[in-house]
Amino acid sequence: MNRINNIHTNETIMRVLIAEDEPISCRALEKNIADWGYETVTAKDGLEAWSAIKKNDIQLAVLDWMMPEIDGVELCRRIHNRNQENISKAIYVILLTGRDQAENIIAGLSAGADDYVAKPFDFLELKIRLQNGERILNQKEEYIDSASYDKLTQVWNRNTILGFFNEELVRGRKESRATGFILVDVDHLESFNRSHGHFIGDTVLFEVAKRLKKNIRGYDRLGRYGGDELAVVLPHCGLIHVEGIAERLRRCICDRRINTQKGPLEITISLVGTSSDVSLHATGEELRQACERALLSCKEKGSNTAVIVERL
């Protein structure tokens, strides 16, 4: 059963799992937690609770220690193992227990509970514990986001964009779909840094990333590859489509000057693209290295160009 009473306007509403086998206690928990502005999902035993965790996007869980099928401690253990596998979707667990002796509390926390409330409990205490859990989850999410983004360009960092590329390659091959990749280099950025200062160079790089992001599809991924280079991952994109996208990206930069504190500057980029359909068994690293070699050759011959790697 799901219930919601939204008092958190303009905020993301967290979903709370309530696992309690005693019907009256379950209804009281559901009413109060919904009144505090959370969405609720209820389960009458541990097996139903575990099923709800696997099916629903649960952020917080309030679990009774004593439940049929799977007890609260074993459920904590399973959730803990799941959290270790997928930290970005971690669940904060509050264990409800009438066992308030130290060894029992330690057993629950050791199994993976994040907090506990001893029965009989005050609902105000539970509310504060839930709010603490929500705050911790939000801080963790902010940390994960900050660890995945490049601070200067506000796009994915190198490790994250390469992870996306490898994931899309695996998914694409399972679905018999090609995955495209484009390596982008901002022409003469080092000379801009020397002539105008690194602040101007940073402004240029930020604006280039911003324009590229506006000119790719919603499910494409853009990241900083390193230095003055950016990378674009293009799911479901064969070589012929990569070529068209690369040319569109080139023009979105060179057709309009970039405003800086030194005035409008003419900026161009060089791009090299390829796709997994050029080789049935090429790894992500092999495709990237082919783009890197082609980009180096491209830069030696000039700038403001888009090149496609048709074979490895």
What would the pLDDT profile of 155-205 be if each residue is shown by its tens digit?
999 999 999 999 999 988 988 899 999 999 999 888 888 888 888 889 999
d(CA 195, CA 210): 23
CATH code at 2-148 = 3.40.50.2300
**Number of Cα atoms under 13 Å in the Cβ half of residue 281:** 0
**Hey, what amino acid is at 289?**
Q
Q: 158-308 domain in CATH 3.30.2320.80?
A: no
Question: Can you tell me the distance from the alpha carbon of 75 to that of 105, in angstroms, rounded to the nearest whole number?
Answer: 15
Global confidence as pTM: 0.59
- Residue 246 binned pLDDT confidence (cut-offs 50, 70, 90): very high
Count of beta carbons in the 10 Å neighbourhood of residue 176 = 6
Indicate if the pLDDT at residue 5 is higher than 70.
Answer: no
What is the tens place of the pLDDT at every residue in 138-168? 877 776 677 788 888 989 999 999 999 999 9
Question: The tokens of 233 are what?
Answer: 């991952």
Q: Is the pLDDT of residue 253 over 50?
A: yes
- Residue 26's alpha-carbon distances to 3, 19, 36, in angstroms, are 13, 8, 15
Tokens 């264990």: give the residue.
95
Pairing between β-strand 180-186 and β-strand 229-234 as defined by DSSP bridges:
antiparallel
Domain boundaries, the chain: 2-148, 158-308
308/312 Cα distance (integer angstroms): 11
Q: Taking a C-beta distance cutoff of 8 angstroms, is the pair 273, 216 a contact?
A: no
At 42-68, the pLDDT tens digits run 988 888 889 888 887 888 999 888 888
Segment 124-133, tens digit of pLDDT: 988 988 998 8
Mean pLDDT of the chain: 85
